[in-house]
Chains A and B, each alone.
Chain A
Amino acid sequence: MAILVEMPKLTDTMEEGVLRKWLVKEGDVVEPGKVIAEVETDKATMEMEAFDRGTILKLLVPEGTGVPPGGGIAILGKPGDDVTALLDRAGKKAEKAAPAKAAVSAAPVVAAAPARAPTGRIPASPLVRRLAREHGIDLQAVAGSGPGGRVIKRDVDPIIAGGGAALAVATITPLPVRPAAPLPPPSAGDVLVPLTPMRRTIARRLLESKQTIPHYYLEIEVDAEPLALFRSQANRDLGEGGAKLSVNDIVLKATAKALREVPQVNSSFREDGILRHGRVDVSMAVAIEDGLVTPVIRDADRKTLGQIAAEARDLALRAKDRKLRPEEMQNGTFSVSNLGMFGIERFAAVINPPEAAILAVGTIVPKPVLRGDLMVPGKTIVLTLSADHRVVDGATGARFLQVLKDLLEHPMRLVL
């Protein structure tokens, strides 16, 4: 009997997957485990495998199409199987999933869920609101089947049964701005770039961060002379074969060590308390072609500089190829963002929730410094900490930067 191949839920936060590339065609025979398509999620482009054996009878969506999890994308079976019922089901599923898909992009929402009053507030039963809080469900993304589009228990039951965090974002979800009137069409010469899943995720998470986290900023200037000297010596001693240390690798290592010394910064705010993380997992922001990802170096405090350098290089390369697995980008405890390579001297970064702080690293700037009584040529680097004031008070953030500065100005301590 023919079966419907559905868009898998490849990441916790995935609201739709874009079918980037079909790797099979109609008539191909597939075995379980065979890669049949490349799917772009909010986090990465991933390979999708067949779960069953059979012949691809029909590809239901063209390349480039966004499909919500559970939506049918192909029909698998034996040649000659009747697929009309499945085609019908796939159509219905797509319709049913449509409001959920539309909920993440601001403009079509009103059109896609006409039953729902366009007030911006999602009608939901009190029970559903509690369940959404407990399971981290974003009600924006749930189609309500009650009167007036009210979200009721039966609408969220499948999400909870499917592991809870399904359509989840962090506990508080700011509502995307809903225009009362349709958006104006682009003027001549303007280009409307469609939102990719990644762009939507960036938009949602950073908006959430800025709207819900009380950011404040601390800046410290570090004498970069010892750091630069240490780096050039290390790289010379490593010779041609080894992975070269970057400034960022050294900053990552120093940050991890400083987080261990000032653990208050290695925390997350939650409704029920402040979660002080036992591990130091440092996220590093990596710019990629049309967005940004934050792969995580796990247990960065316990790894050697060489290990961190090798891992950071591997993560960055695979990020650019979109080959990172979602779990490699999840559950960091602190982030480091570095724009030094672009000549940026200083900047303030947006916190990556649910982390409590992010470090922005500028470029090494040659400038005159005072040594004793003498003004001499020197090098400095500026570090800016953005911190969540609910978790990290000013004095704590300052102490963290002091520890970090001290480590970077005495880099030998990083290898001892």
Chain B
Amino acid sequence: METLSFEFPAGQPPRGRALVGCVGSGDLEVLIEPGLAGKLTIQVQTSVNGSEQRWQHLFARMFDGQTPPAMSIDIHDFGATPGVVRLRLEQGFEEIGHD
């Protein structure tokens, strides 16, 4: 198991928070809360060792060319593939837009 931290430039914090997914086989749990203005921080706890580069690339590709909201994201990963991670994150981003 590994604990990883990432940081990206961001805009203003969102209003809502969201929880999506579950720490089940091949899935992950994503908790999204408002962060400090200008900063997007991501904490990942993953059951897969040696995966830091993969997470870095995945986040960089997602936020490329846009300024995401300033969020504090906690991820508890149980071996999700990058595709599943991306789906869960997008699901979470959609939910923080709702009240």
Chain B associates with chain A: no
